[in-house]
Amino acid sequence: MPVVALIIELLLLIVTVDEAVTTLEDLFEEYKKYRGSLEDMKKEIRKMLESLEKEIAKKIDEKEEVALLLAMTEVDPQGQQTRKAEGRGADGNVISAAIRQKIPFRDVITKICTLADKIPPITLRKHKGVQIKDLPQAKRKVLEELLGRSIKELTEQEAEQFILVRLKQLAVNLLFEFIDECLDWASPLKCEEAFGPPPKFEDHPVVGSTRLKRIGKASPFYPSPFQYQKGSIAADLVIQEYRHQRPDKSNIFAIVEIKFQGDRIEAKQFEQYQRLLREAAVVKTARTSIRYMDKVVNSGGRLSLLRFPEDVAVHGAKPDPEKKDEARKDPDETARKSRSKGDGKKRGKR
């Protein structure tokens, strides 16, 4: 079976993975409902993938250079909550700046996240509040591979919420990987691009020139190439400056961290991204042979936090509710109130 088929089938029929299916059948009360919902997603995804592929390919063919990616960034369709950095996780300068950061492709990222968000809630056979640490070792091992987290991290959250969030993230990754293959591994949107520990942040190994190497089994993204090296990091999404060049530190246009509801937003993670981008700026400076007045590259790339659904693409201004109510009122009554206010001002002056 072609790789593209394996990827899409893993997303749509994730519970049929040989080792995982037994685990999930044992764990989830709503296994049949979950599987049926994934089948429904399958139909919708297949309809959307072609249009998404065309949308990305068209934009990149026309806007391949960095200067044009910058132009796309300037028209980023942010909503008011994003522009003001309000709501969930908006604490401190680092997180707030990441929320406000403009990026290209917010529309495409929104569509992918919307699909992934349709994964239904899952309940465990055990009592609510059960922790993954309570599960047998064999089942924890399969979940660790499937959800992309170590045992230590898995035990920190309630099982139900954690599994749901991780399945949504896995769906996002698989869809971006699918689109990458549709574009002959030359998509500008690379998911789960990993970097080794500081200070050098070694680049993710590649197959060929632009395809990120995957070594996982139950999930292609886990373990990452640097999974067991302390201080390593894997970005949810990296937008490349040049899609036909190797994805590495010198090719980062923006890092986009995607957070579904229920996922943790921690400043420490974004501070690590900032350190990575500082090293990326050093690498870009060394590789740039022609620089204005021999100045160094001052930025390794942008750092963005996209909370779903708070930071989805928004097109068109929504009407002000107060103005909308005012418009419904009798125009003669509105005019009388306006004149009354004007008379009051005149009397006050006397």
What angle, 0 to 180 degrees and rounded to 10, lies between the N-to-C axes of helices 159-182 and 31-62? Answer: 40
Q: Are 303 and 253 in contact (CB under 8 A)?
A: no
Q: Which of 166, 168, 169 is nearest to 158 (CA)?
A: 166
Determine the pLDDT at residue 170.
Answer: 84
Q: Tell me what the mean pLDDT of segment 69-93 comes to.
A: 94
Gyration radius (Cα) of the chain, Å: 24
Instruction: Evaluate if residue 66 carries a pLDDT over 90.
Output: no
Residue, of 92 and 44, whose pLDDT is higher: 92
Any bridge partners for residue 303, and if so which?
255
The DSSP bridge pattern shows strands 233-240 and 206-207 to be unpaired
- pLDDT band with cut points at 50, 70 and 90 for residue 65: low
In tens, the pLDDT along 147-204 reads 666 555 555 456 667 777 888 888 888 888 878 887 789 889 999 999 999 999 999 9
Determine the pLDDT at residue 37.
Answer: 59
Tell me the HSE value of 103 on the side-chain side, using a 13 A CA sphere: 35
Low-confidence winner among 82-86, 178-182, 242-246 (lowest mean pLDDT) = 178-182
pLDDT, mean over the chain: 75
What would the two tokens of residue 12 be?
Answer: 């749509």
Determine the pLDDT at residue 306.
Answer: 98
> Structural domain boundaries of the chain?
3-318, 322-350
Triad 123, 126, 130: Cα angle to 5°: 85
Under 8 Å CB-to-CB from 90, ≥6 apart: which residues?
96, 99
Q: Tell me what the mean pLDDT of segment 131-142 comes to.
A: 63
pTM for the structure as a whole: 0.75
Residue, of 277 and 32, whose pLDDT is higher: 277
Determine the pLDDT at residue 302.
Answer: 97
Q: Cα separations (Å) of 68 from 60, 61, 63, 247, 288?
A: 9, 11, 5, 19, 19
In tens, the pLDDT along 214-224 reads 998 777 898 89
Determine the pLDDT at residue 295.
Answer: 58
Task: List own/partner pairs for 229-234 with CB under 8 A and 24 or more apart.
Answer: 229/196, 229/197, 230/197, 231/197, 231/198, 231/272, 232/194, 232/195, 232/196, 232/197, 233/194, 233/195, 233/201, 233/269, 233/272, 233/273, 233/276, 234/192, 234/193, 234/194, 234/195
Determine the pLDDT at residue 154.
Answer: 52
Low-confidence winner among 63-72, 128-137, 138-147, 274-283 (lowest mean pLDDT) = 128-137
The 8-class DSSP code of residue 16 comes to G
Determine the pLDDT at residue 217.
Answer: 77
What percent of the chain lies above the pLDDT cut of 70? 57
Q: Kindly report the backbone phi and psi dihedral angles of residue 147, in degrees, each rounded to the nearest multiple of 5, phi listed first.
A: -95, -10
Instruction: Evaluate if residue 74 carries a pLDDT over 90.
Output: yes
DSSP secondary structure, 175-233, as one string = HHHHHHHHTTT--SEEEEEEE-STTT-PPPPEETTTEEP---SSBTTBS-TTTTSTT-E
Q: Kindly report the backbone phi and psi dihedral angles of residue 103, in degrees, each rounded to the nearest multiple of 5, phi listed first.
A: -145, 160
Q: Tell me what the mean pLDDT of segment 312-340 comes to.
A: 53
Residue, of 231 and 316, whose pLDDT is higher: 231
Q: How far apart are CA 278 and CA 282, in angstroms?
A: 7
Q: Kindly report the backbone phi and psi dihedral angles of residue 91, in degrees, each rounded to the nearest multiple of 5, phi listed first.
A: -120, 130
